[in-house]
Amino acid sequence: MPYPPTLFLILLQVFFFAAVLAHALRQGTWRRPTLLHFYAYSCFMAGFANLQGFLPQYNPDSYIFYYASLPQVPKAALIYLLGSIAIFGGMWLRKRYSSRIRLPAIPPTAKVPGPVWLALLAAALFFLHGWMPGRLGLAGSFIFHYIPFGILFLLARRPEGNSWWLALGLAAAFTIYNVLYAFLRMEMILPAFTLVLGVATSGRLQLKEFLRPRYFILYAWIVLFIMAFPWMINNRGKYGAGLERIAYARQVDLKTILTDGHAGETVLTRSSLLNQLSQVARIADEDGFYRGKTLDYWRYVFIPRFLWPDKPPIASGSWFAYKINEKDIDRPYKYPHSWSANMTVPGELYLNFSWPGLLLGGLLLGWLAQFLWSTARFWESDFANNLWGNIFGYFLILSAFFQFGADLQYLVNVFAYFLLALVLGFLSANFIR
């Protein structure tokens, strides 16, 4: 691998987004972070994760290059650098203009549900999801996932009164359930992470706020999760669910859980995108650019499955994983039948439309994300009068923090969730008095 150009590109990304964050600190805008800040922080951390492959103590079996096409890693670094800056640039350009469009809010004079009722609604929807059969589609994901976590986010934004303790209780209940039943590891830490996001966007943010004892339990859980992450990677699929998971964990020494490693895989190495993007670059070199072929599902994605039972499944990640495995690669998957790989948004833009599409598409996506952010305006209201703005704003923050999803299916999701929030907001504004 040609180390100097790759290292230069990664360092350029790290320093660019570090400068953005430093500017926010100097200007004081970090006290009320925006979508720009969350995305900049995410890109900074991803760049920092990419640097791990160049550290002196680097383990060549690390996940950071686990299934990379090594000759294409420099191009992967360039794709991510240009794509992330283009998305950021689109957000920055749109930020300069105000929007007259906003999600409907409940009138200030209306009797909105109090914190207790909102917490009960969130708990009911969250635990009802566990009893629902099969996949529920975009509407089900919004109702049974984003509404409960959006309410948790809303409650955490009000650190005074009983709202915080209700939020902490909800987060504890969600965490226990996910530890027992969730397959994806991120779900286990998501409730605590949501609480942190709520506090960060409360408008009262000061560094001393995070030193209050009430937050120590969150920090302890996050640290334990990070330490146990490699063990969970190695043992996922072995420990069953529910009480079986507890029984399996009890057979393992706690020290092993917290110190075990698996091919150098950690939370930080999982944040690296060199694996996926190097494979995108290889496929584009071998097959040519796809010119929109990976987006064929856009023609039918919004047709409800009950109207078209045989609607083809949307599985871009599975297609990409199998495409990677069509030919021998440097580090082939060990479990190709069960893998889904994310192309990333910059990767899919490049794979379809080359460098011009990467830059223009990134600008447009960033512009759209910032426009939608301006419609949420949840920071204008502390509580349930702007319930749907809080929920949709939470989805946007989470999206920005995780690089706007695994691929361009994010555009389908954000459009569907915006329409749902718009309709539900309209109904709430007109029927809650």
Cβ count within 10 A of residue 24: 18
Q: Give the Cα separation of 121 and 150 in Å (integer).
A: 11
Residue 344: DSSP 8-state? -
More confident residue, 384 or 211: 211
The string of pLDDT tens digits covering residues 167-180 is 999 999 998 888 88
- pLDDT value for 194: 93
Burial of 161 (0-12, 13-18, 19+ CB in 10 A): exposed
Do 89 and 119 have their domain in common? no
Q: Give the Cα separation of 93 and 22 in Å (integer).
A: 19
Domain boundary, last residue among 227, 259, 291: 259
Do 76 and 183 have their domain in common? no
More confident residue, 418 or 431: 418
Using the CB atoms, write b or e for 87-106: b if 16+ within 10 Å. Answer: bbebbbebbeeeeeeebbbb
Q: Is residue 420 part of a domain?
A: no
Q: Which residues contact 3 (CB under 8 A, 6 or more apart)?
A: 54
Q: Is residue 428 part of a domain?
A: no
Segment (H or E) for 414: helix 409-431
Q: Number of structural domains, the chain? A: 2
- Label residue 258 by pLDDT band (50, 70, 90): low
The string of pLDDT tens digits covering residues 58-113 is 555 556 666 788 889 899 999 999 999 999 999 999 887 777 788 888 777 777 77
Q: Give the Cα separation of 218 and 251 in Å (integer).
A: 26
Cβ count within 10 A of residue 270: 15
- pLDDT value for 337: 41
Do 145 and 177 have their domain in common? yes
The string of pLDDT tens digits covering residues 280-333 is 999 999 999 999 999 988 888 888 777 887 878 777 787 888 888 764 444 444
Domain span at residue 234 reads: 115-259
The string of pLDDT tens digits covering residues 396-409 is 999 999 999 888 99
The string of pLDDT tens digits covering residues 185-200 is 688 889 999 998 988 8
- Label residue 260 by pLDDT band (50, 70, 90): low
Percentage of the chain modeled with pLDDT above 90: 36
- Which of 377, 370, 408 minimizes the C-alpha distance to 393? 377
The string of pLDDT tens digits covering residues 339-353 is 677 899 999 999 999
Do 187 and 314 have their domain in common? no
Do 255 and 119 have their domain in common? yes
Q: Give the Cα separation of 53 and 282 in Å (integer).
A: 20
Do 214 and 308 have their domain in common? no
Residue 142: DSSP 8-state? I
Do 119 and 238 have their domain in common? yes
- Label residue 377 by pLDDT band (50, 70, 90): confident
Q: Is the pLDDT of residue 222 over 90?
A: no
- pLDDT value for 55: 64
Q: Is residue 314 part of a domain?
A: yes
